[in-house]
Copies of this chain bind each other. A is one copy, B any other.
Amino acid sequence: MLPVNAEDFRTIWLCPDDDSVVQIIDQRLLPHDYHIQDLKRWQDGVEAISDMYVRGAPLIGATAAWSLYLASLDVSDPAAEIRTAADALLQSRPTAVNLGWAIERVLTVIEAASSSEDLPALIRREAGDICNEDIEISRGIGEHGLRLIEEIAAGKNGGAVNILTHCNAGSLATINWGTATAPIYFAHRKGIAVHVWVDETRPRNQGSQLTAWELAANGVPHTLIVDNAGGHLMQHEMVDLVITGTDRTTRCGDVANKIGTYLKALAADDNDIPFYVALPSTTIDWKSRDGLTEIPIEERDNAEVTDIYGVSNGERIHVRTTAPNTPVSNYAFDVTPARLITGLITERGICDASEDGLLELFPEMRTE
């Protein structure tokens, strides 16, 4: 088992032996195989994002930044190549707002550069900064979220705090520590008893295949459940707190996250269980207000629903679960309205899921 949350764990890095190669974990193969994938051209980065070798809003952004670095290497017209790469990267996943944010950030640095500057070195520094800053953001989320867990733990007489999470908003979704998992890891390291209900997260099983894997690697007690089970657990007081991540949060606190998040928020609301969303401020889309009408919801390949990845007799294979030609629909995200969210855990603190709440933490985003 890997030391996932050793301080030096990373989900993306520059190859130590060859600085024209970026390396990632091919997360599609987890938990059955831990494979390091080389990205040698920016097109590899597009494929890694769209085919979900990497996923999770912060890691998608970082991968886009590093892909622009790859685009700047060994070409006669780096500026043109970077523009082409940026366009392709922007199309690779529609819902995560970090993608556009990271690309914009790199492009701004390039625009400001003088013609004599070393473009690859500039982008490399910016991509590295994006990653380092993301780790600090996760750390901030972890510290603020830890207080929530401590408060609940205080009322449990040493009993474990039961936290439900959906999808993977873990170390694997960021550079390290995760968003939704950061408070959990921080609590666990502080010796607070926590237990995590891990939603399987159909269709891609990020819960059963990524979250369960990284919680196990870090020794955090957890139990896998099907996505259908959370409501029942909440009805029976087996959940103290829900924390999820988000791919895009509007200025007013609506949250787009993995499909099914909305159903858990409804159940938490119905059972008076606090429902928090952990997010780096990079996932806030300050230009949108109404999540239901303004956030594009990605539709993905039907095979994600019909064909399931697993092992049989030691072999890694996909099985088709359905009859051939079963019609399928596969929306990847849904929107949880702010009214169902108890609070947002950001790197600057915890706030109400509302424009006022967010602007109190991010006053520089006030438009008047």
CB of A235 within 8 A of CB of B335, answer yes
How many of chain A's residues have a CB under 8 angstroms from any CB in B? Answer: 63
Among A235, A262, A318, the most chain B Cβ lie within 10 Å of the Cβ of A262
CB of B323 within 8 A of CB of A223, answer no
- B residues in contact with A270, CB < 8 Å: 266
- In the complex, what residue of chain B is closest to A30 when comparing beta carbons? B323
Q: Could you tell me the distance between the alpha carbons of A213 and B327 in the complex, rounded to whole angstroms?
A: 11
Q: Could you tell me the distance between the alpha carbons of A175 and B306 in the complex, rounded to whole angstroms?
A: 28
Q: Could you tell me the distance between the alpha carbons of A297 and B233 in the complex, rounded to whole angstroms?
A: 12
CB of A329 within 8 A of CB of B266, answer no
- B residues in contact with A221, CB < 8 Å: 327
Q: Could you tell me the distance between the alpha carbons of A275 and B203 in the complex, rounded to whole angstroms?
A: 25
CB of B226 within 8 A of CB of A259, answer yes
Interface residues of A in 245-299 (CB under 8 A from B): 258-260, 262-264, 266-267, 270, 292, 297
- B residues in contact with A297, CB < 8 Å: 232
CB of A205 within 8 A of CB of B321, answer yes
Q: Which of B229, B267, B312 contacts A317 (CB 8 A)?
A: B312
- B residues in contact with A201, CB < 8 Å: 228
Q: Which of B232, B236, B319, B328 contacts A311 (CB 8 A)?
A: B319
Among A212, A216, A231, the most chain B Cβ lie within 10 Å of the Cβ of A231
- B residues in contact with A32, CB < 8 Å: 323
A322 at the binding interface (Cβ < 8 Å): yes
A331 at the binding interface (Cβ < 8 Å): yes
- In the complex, what residue of chain B is closest to A207 when comparing beta carbons? B322
CB of A323 within 8 A of CB of B213, answer yes
- In the complex, what residue of chain B is closest to A230 when comparing beta carbons? B263
CB of A216 within 8 A of CB of B310, answer no
A31 at the binding interface (Cβ < 8 Å): yes
CB of B235 within 8 A of CB of A292, answer yes
Using known A-B contacts A202-B200, A263-B267, determine if residue A322 contacts B224 with beta carbons closer than 8 Å.
yes
- B residues in contact with A200, CB < 8 Å: 202, 305
CB of B202 within 8 A of CB of A321, answer no
Q: Could you tell me the distance between the alpha carbons of A333 and B233 in the complex, rounded to whole angstroms?
A: 11
A41 at the binding interface (Cβ < 8 Å): no
A105 at the binding interface (Cβ < 8 Å): no
A76 at the binding interface (Cβ < 8 Å): no
Q: Which of B223, B264, B317, B328 contacts A224 (CB 8 A)?
A: B328
- B residues in contact with A305, CB < 8 Å: 200, 208, 224-226
| Contacts A208-B305, A228-B258, A235-B262 supplied; 14 other A-B pairs, CB < 8 Å | A31-B322, A197-B329, A205-B321, A208-B321, A221-B327, A224-B305, A224-B306, A226-B260, A227-B227, A229-B329, A232-B297, A266-B270, A309-B321, A318-B319
Closest 6 CB pairs of A and B: A228-B260, A310-B319, A232-B334, A31-B323, A266-B266, A202-B226
